């Protein structure tokens, strides 16, 4: 089988690994300007968010390379993302491609979803594949945690996961911040969602459990409703970073992201009430990189002056 799957930042190698284990020929075209262009062209409504367009662009590129089946991530939450595979399937049919799009959920449904793609897989193999995938994810993320330098400006990154994890989509924001001398922390990785699903947040590395519990409680008081996407997490983690005395927070969202836009006023209030600077970046297909760089530099510069003011 030739399975196409949109790449997902530095997790893409794990998708390939999973495909190798299952005996699939996996195609994961890296996100590029062309990917975003293709997706925007064939899912042209400005009301569709950037991840929908970018993943469609990847699917078209995978079809160009001969994919017979396609995987689309299904967040299993209440955001509209869970329905994107339907729109993407329609767009591909209009373009004349016959590949089938399969939504795949991350969680206990993963083995069944894998078998829906490839019915020749045994139950046993699909469960072992799921177990291996979880282990790879945790191992992969362990490698990413570097030592902490207390002199650096500490920035917490909150927002929508796809824009946070894919460097092409976020215009390499994390690397740029690190090159400017800042240390960047984000909770939004795959292990967070696995831990959350299985109610085992303790698996997360470098987390102050006590502060996180306080932040979660406050977050619920401020916004007592599940909004979908990562909106509730954006509130919780902004409070956490404020309590943990981070120097600032970057709120990253694609245009027009419903959950992140809805929680934005709450995050602005947290910024004021907890005295933690928050800068918001809204990314779309037309984001001008020069403008983004200038804002990033200014933000790090201001935080660094503020941090060193008393010294």
Q: Which of 2, 16, 41, 80 binds ligand SF4 (CB under 6 A)?
A: 80
Q: Which is nearer to ligand SF4, 49 or 212 (CB)?
A: 49
- Assess 259 for contact with ligand SF4 (CB under 6 A): yes
Count interface residues toward ligand SF4 (CB under 6 A): 12
Q: Which is nearer to ligand SF4, 256 or 277 (CB)?
A: 256
Nearest distance in Å: CB 42, ligand SF4: 17
Q: Which is nearer to ligand SF4, 49 or 276 (CB)?
A: 49
Q: What is the 3-state secondary structure (H, E, C) of the chain?
A: CEEECCCCHHHHHHHHHHHHHHCCEEECCCCCHHHHHHHHHHCCCCCCCHHHHHHHHHHHHHHHCCCCEEEEEECCCCCHHHHHHHHHHHHHHHCCCCCEEEEEECCCCHHHHHHHHCCCCCHHHHHHHHHHHHHHHHHHHHHHCCCCCCCCEEEEEEECHHHHHCCCCCCCHHHHHHHCCEEEEECCCHHHHHHHHCCCHHHCCCCCHHHHHHHHHHHHHHCCCCCCCCHHHHHHHHHHHHHCCCCEEEEEEECCCHHHHHHHHHHHHHHHHCCCCEEEEEECCCCCHHHHHHHHHHHHHHHHHHHHCCC
Q: Which of 6, 51, 159, 248 binds ligand SF4 (CB under 6 A)?
A: 51
- Assess 279 for contact with ligand SF4 (CB under 6 A): no
Q: What would the x/- binding string for ligand SF4 be over residues 143 to 162, using CB under 6 A?
A: -----------------x--
Q: Which listed range, 66-74, 77-85, 86-94, 145-153, lies at the site for ligand SF4 (CB under 6 A)?
A: 77-85
Q: Which of 79, 101, 158, 165 binds ligand SF4 (CB under 6 A)?
A: 79
Q: Which listed range, 30-38, 117-125, 150-158, 255-263, lies at the site for ligand SF4 (CB under 6 A)?
A: 255-263
- Assess 88 for contact with ligand SF4 (CB under 6 A): no
**Contact residues for ligand SF4, defined by CB under 6 A:** 49, 51, 79-81, 160, 229, 254, 257-260
């Amino acid at each position: 089988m030739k399975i196409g799957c949109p790449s997902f930042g530095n997790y893409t190698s794990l998708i390939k690994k999973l495909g190798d284990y299952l005996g699939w020929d996996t195609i994961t075209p890296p996100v590029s300007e062309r990917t975003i262009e293709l997706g925007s062209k064939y899912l042209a409504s400005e009301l569709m968010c950037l991840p929908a367009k970018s993943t469609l662009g990847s699917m078209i590129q995978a079809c160009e390379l001969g994919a017979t089946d396609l995987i689309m991530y299904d967040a299993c939450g209440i955001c509209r993302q869970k329905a994107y595979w339907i729109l993407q399937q329609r767009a591909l049919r209009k373009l004349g491609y016959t590949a089938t799009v399969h939504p795949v959920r991350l969680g206990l449904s993963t083995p069944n979803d894998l078998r829906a793609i490839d019915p020749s897989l045994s139950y046993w193999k699909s469960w072992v594949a799921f177990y291996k995938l979880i282990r790879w994810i945790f191992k992969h993320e362990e490698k990413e945690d570097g030592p902490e330098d207390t002199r650096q400006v500490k920035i917490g990154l909150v927002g929508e996961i796809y824009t946070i994890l894919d460097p092409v989509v976020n215009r390499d924001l994390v690397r740029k911040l690190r090159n400017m001398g800042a240390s960047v922390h984000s909770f939004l990785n795959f292990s967070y969602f696995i831990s959350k699903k299985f109610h085992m947040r303790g698996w997360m590395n470098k987390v102050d459990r006590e502060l996180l519990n306080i932040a979660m409680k406050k977050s619920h008081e401020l916004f007592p409703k599940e909004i979908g996407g990562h909106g509730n997490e954006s509130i919780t983690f902004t409070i956490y970073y404020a309590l943990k005395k981070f120097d600032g927070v970057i709120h990253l969202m694609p245009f027009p992201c419903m959950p992140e836009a809805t929680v934005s006023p709450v995050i602005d209030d947290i910024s004021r009430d907890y005295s933690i600077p928050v800068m918001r970046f809204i990314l779309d297909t037309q984001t001008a990189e020069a403008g983004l760089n200038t804002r990033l530099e200014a933000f790090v510069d201001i935080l660094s002056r503020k941090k060193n003011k008393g010294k």
